[in-house]
Chain A
Amino acid sequence: MSEPSQVEIELPAEIRDVEPVQSIRTPIRMTYDYIPSSSAIASLNAYAEKRILGGVSPIDGAVFVPPRGVDPRHGVATTETVDLPDTGHIGSFCVTRLPIPGREDLEIPYVSAWIFLDGADVGFLGLVSGVDTSEVHIGMRVKALWKPDDELGRTAENIVSWIPSGEPSLPFEEAGVRGYRKRSGAKGSDPLA
């Protein structure tokens, strides 16, 4: 396949000697002022007390963390919340060797992992530290490393990272979503998933 030839454009005589503009820069700056939703406010307040909230599905009791106010399977609001422990395991993870914008504080390589809290039915993304990257594995037990009490704010950033708890690891077959599916009679378990 050969490429079609380019169309030749003949410029008017009066602009033929003008230096062509190669590019222009148009900086765009827009400011958005977000106000947290009611479910986010509850969750952020809990973080200030070193607590982690989950949203409970009114359909089958499945626990979502962080609570976004909705069970996405059924499109229904989750109004009830539940306190979750700050311990769990790694469902899966990535060792990243690239800097990310806005997080110049991170030492490379760093580990981002899907953290499955004990009692939660979905995972969420968190950083893992306090362990050599080569030792991180699926099923590894972790606990939250909180900021010092005098630095706590109403923010998810109170959890600096997740560090190994020293407990025995879960086998691969029980870690992350597989664990959910394996639990007999798991809430809302879908044999087709």
Chain B
Amino acid sequence: MRDVAIVAAGQRQQAAFTDETEVQILLPIFEQVRNDTGLEQSDIGFTCSGSSDFLAGSAFSFVGTLEGVGAYPPICESHVEMDGAWALYEAWVKLQIGEIDTALVYSYGKSSPGSLRDVLSTQLDPYYLAPLWPDAFALGALQARMMLEQDIVSRDRLTEIAVRSRDHASSSPHAVRKGDATTDFVEASPVIADPLRADDCAAGADGGCVIILAAGDIAKNVCDRPAWIRGIEHRTDAHSLAGRDLLSAQSAALAANAAGVGDDKIDIAELHGPFTHQEHLLETALGITDETIVNPSGGALAGHTMMAAGLMRIAEAATRVSAGAGDRAVAHATSGPWLQQNLVCVMEGD
């Protein structure tokens, strides 16, 4: 595989961007990554983005966001209706072909105008599941209850994960739920969908994330310590409730194995778990041990920008590798109910 690295990453996230459009959320981040690398849009070989029309409430919503990139003269560009982590994968593939040396990846989500927990119901099997309108928290709760009742995880462990998120998020400028990192505080948070408390569910957020990828020498020229992508893989599980084991994250394990997560010590892991019990499942699937710092940013629990939370995990891990906080990191992104689809990206510093 060709050596490709993340050479710049930026993000903005807050509970709601009430007075900015998606384009306006992104503009300062584009400016930041361009300043960080000295690369202009005309230097970029391929641009790829990820977003959702259902989230925005309008068809072809990504067409408007293209305006933020500066798409003239025309650019080589594509879009996935997926979390931006998969846009990054598509860009990485293009770089592997060897005809371009740089790529710009972005994604964004503004769920504050709608009700995300309901919007996500439209993602389910339209004939058998969606008509029942199970909301996203209820689905998470079903899985959490199964895990608790079968001793896959304990209530204390879930609380511990929620406390960890609040603790780590305290030092993160992008986290929207932070501080009060005590067991008592978390245990006092209201039950949203029994057995899930508010703190077991990711804090909703609006935001955007932008990453620049570069290959070989160009990466070294524009970044002091690029985060080299050593493995990037994604897999999906079956969708049907009856067609999968909800007590494990099988496709995450498959992707992690293919990406070589277990080949060496992992210093940092950024896992995209929309619920505490799912963060636990992911740690198991990826074989994370105590020697790894999990979600130093606070993770998706501390701020969950739909369609960008996965790309943000990659950005968080890459930024830490570039800053020298670790030599080897893994980032994970998920999509669909019960961690149906998963992407794993392993990065290393020089």
Contacts and interface: CB of A to CB of B under 8 A. Distances in A.
A–B touching in complex (CB under 8 Å): yes
A30 B41 CA distance: 37
B24 interface: yes
A72 B72 contact: yes
A76 B70 contact: yes
Given A35-B113, A73-B70, A75-B30, A68 B23 contact: yes
B27 A24 contact: no
Given A24-B131, A34-B113, A69-B23, A74 B70 contact: yes
Interface stretch (B91-99, B114-122, B293-301): B114-122
A73 B21 contact: no
A38 B130 contact: no
Contact of A38 (B20, B64, B66): B20
Interface string A154-192: 000000000000000000000000000000000000101
Interface string B166-200: 00000000000000000000000000000000000
Interface in A128-159: none
A73 B23 contact: no
Interface in A30-78: 30-41, 68-77
A75 B27 contact: yes
Interface string A60-99: 0000000011111111110000000000000000000000
Nearest to A35: B18
A70 B113 contact: no
Q: Give the bracket for the number of chain A residues in contact with chain B.
A: 20 to 34
Given A30-B119, A37-B20, A68-B67, A73 B72 contact: yes
The A interface, classified by DSSP as helix, strand, loop or mixed, is: loop
Nearest to B30: A75
A190 B72 CA distance: 10
Interface string B54-90: 0001000000101111111100000000000000000
A72 B69 CA distance: 7
A22 interface: no
A24 B127 contact: yes
B133 to A, nearest CB: 9
A13 interface: no
A192 B73 CA distance: 9
B42 to A, nearest CB: 10
Given A30-B114, A32-B113, A75 B68 contact: yes
A37 B68 contact: no
Contacts of B57: 30, 32, 34
Q: Give the bracket for the number of chain B residues in contact with chain A.
A: 20 to 34
Contact of A70 (B68, B122, B126, B131): B68
A11 interface: no
A76 B27 contact: yes
B263 interface: no
Contacts of A34: 57, 113
A28 B23 CA distance: 28
Nearest to A72: B67
Contacts of A190: 72-73
A26 interface: yes
A35 B41 CA distance: 30
Interface string A96-134: 000000000000000000000000000000000000000
A75 B69 contact: yes
A41 B21 CA distance: 12
B69 A30 contact: no
Query: Which of B21, B64, B69 has the largest count of A CB atoms less than 10 A from its CB?
Result: B21
Contacts of A40: 21
A43 to B, nearest CB: 12
Nearest to A41: B19
23 contacts: A26-B126, A26-B130, A30-B57, A30-B118, A30-B122, A33-B113, A34-B57, A34-B113, A35-B18, A35-B19, A37-B19, A37-B21, A38-B20, A39-B24, A40-B21, A41-B19, A70-B24, A70-B67, A73-B71, A73-B72, A75-B70, A77-B24, A190-B73
Given A72-B67, A72-B71, 12 more contacts: A26-B130, A26-B131, A30-B118, A30-B119, A30-B122, A31-B114, A32-B57, A41-B19, A72-B68, A73-B72, A75-B68, A75-B70
